[in-house]
Chain A
Amino acid sequence: GAVVSQHPSWVICKSGTSVKIECRSLDFQATTMFWYRQFPKQSLMLMATSNEGSKATYEQGVEKDKFLINHASLTLSTLTVTSAHPEDSSFYICSARVWGLAGVSNDNEQFFGPGTRLTVL
């Protein structure tokens, strides 16, 4: 249990286009999901916290108008990279926090998706 999926796993797009990445919790409900980005050989950087039914909370330096986050249901959060440019090329990873899911998780454990590699030409 506690599986998080992402779609697509990789995407190549032209500069100026928008790309939507989906993050789904497959067998549990996640009121809170997180979006990270990771550049090669670097650590994960938290971009935003996505709460079901409310606006996302963005980390300092992350443009909310460029990285649109929607968390319309308890099992789905989407990240849309608008007007993508080559510098947005990165590995985008989502995670979901599960609270004390008996027999599955530890408190404050996050379950991560497999990631989406975005390449902007």
Chain B
Amino acid sequence: LAKTTQPISMDSYEGQEVNITCSHNNIATNDYITWYQQFPSQGPRFIIQGYKTKVTNEVASLFIPADRKSSTLSLPRVSLSDTAVYYCLVGDYGQNFVFGPGTRLSVLP
């Protein structure tokens, strides 16, 4: 399983765009990159998943460079309610998820 590295914490202000980068230098050919969000005392919630280039949905964008050794989760115009821990996971179909420490995002007013 590819190991991931993320910043432990980040601060931002309401209305700003937040970019969280995850490093996964030993990602395998068949691995997908998935991001989850977790609020205190709740289960993680799926945000976005991608394999290469760019993926966008209603809540976020995921940028993956050609070498796929990193990925960046982009949250446009964050609000206070986006304060949470964000996890980057890498794995193939059928592989179990290994959660790293995640990035604790604090959105300030």
Give Cα A99–Cα B93 distance, bound, in whole angstroms. 9
Cβ of B49 and Cβ of A109 under 8 Å apart? Answer: yes
* Chain A, interface residues (CB within 8 Å), range: 20 to 34
C-alpha spacing A25/B44, complex, angstroms: 15
B97:A46 contact, CB within 8 angstroms: yes
What is the minimal beta-carbon distance from B1 to any residue of chain A, in angstroms?
11
* Among A61-69, A72-80, A81-89, A111-119, the stretch in contact with B: A111-119
B36 surroundings in chain A (CB, below 8 A): 112
> Chain B interface secondary structure, helix, strand, loop or mixed?
loop
Check A93 for interface membership: any CB of B closer than 8 A: yes
> Known contacts A113-B43, A115-B42: does B94 contact A43 (CB below 8 Å)?
no
Q: B residues engaging A (CB < 8 A)?
A: 32, 34, 36, 41-46, 49, 87, 91-102
Besides A36-B99, A106-B49, A115-B43, 11 other CB < 8 A contacts? A43-B87, A43-B100, A43-B101, A49-B96, A93-B44, A106-B34, A108-B91, A109-B34, A110-B97, A112-B43, A115-B41
Q: Which residues of A contact B (CB under 8 A)?
A: 4, 6, 34, 36, 42-46, 49, 91, 93, 95, 99, 105-115, 117
